[in-house]
Amino acid sequence: MTELLEHPMREEIERTTIEKVSIVISKGSLEGIYPGLIMANGARMEGIEADLFFTFFGLDAIRRDRHAKIKVATVGNPGLHLPTLVGALPGFSAFATRMMKRQMEKLDIPPIPEFVELVADSGAGLYACRASVDMFDLSMEDFVPEVRDILSVGEFYELAAGGEIIFT
């Protein structure tokens, strides 16, 4: 036990590099999906191996019928600094989404469908979560062609072995 309490030597920390990441995307809002995609793309740009695992509403990012229609969550999102009732007004989410998309285009951040394709082309693996797929009664046909497979949690851990797991 005493060994666990000791801090690892600083030089050791500095010498370590990340070789592989497995990123879980679990939310279906615009602000829930982008961070995972940006981290996966950023990993590949650094030559780090990356896999993406989409679960629950995060599956919307890879659903053919939904990935172009992802919206900013304007209700229950204190980060927007708006009263919840304003966020709930009809059309408000679409408005906030339009504003954010415009801002991202300026920064050369692609829309979600293009971003998913970019990340897949960069060599990252895209996978859907078995439990969520069954729960929403989906199959491979519902997903964009870049999705490689539907994996159980156990299979995901096997795939993630030896790397870092990032949950978003």
Partner 1 sequence: MTTTVYADTPVEVDAEGFLTDPGQWTEPIAERIAEENGIPELTDRHWLVVRFMRERYLATGSAPSIRALGKESGVPVKELYRLFPKGPAKLAARIGGIPKPRGCI
Residues forming contacts to partner 1 in the complex (CB under 8 A) are 38, 41-42, 44-47, 107-110, 114, 118, 121-123
Q: What is the DSSP letter of 128?
A: E
> Which of 26/41 has CB closer to partner 1?
41
- Provide, rounded to whole angstroms, the least separation between the CB of residue 45 and partner 1: 5
> Which of 110/163 has CB closer to partner 1?
110
- Provide, rounded to whole angstroms, the least separation between the CB of residue 42 and partner 1: 6
- Provide, rounded to whole angstroms, the least separation between the CB of residue 19 and partner 1: 12
As to burial, measured by CB atoms within 10 angstroms (0-12 exposed, 13-18 middle, 19+ buried), residue 111 is middle
> Which of 94/123 has CB closer to partner 1?
123
Residue 124 and residue 61 in contact, taking contact as beta carbons nearer than 8 Å = no
> Which of 59/119 has CB closer to partner 1?
119
Identity of residue 67: H
- Report the C-alpha gap between 48 and 42 in whole angstroms: 8
Query: Could you write out the three-class secondary structure of 27-60?
Result: CCCHHHHHHHHHHHHHHHHCCCEEEEEECHHHHH
- Provide, rounded to whole angstroms, the least separation between the CB of residue 89 and partner 1: 32
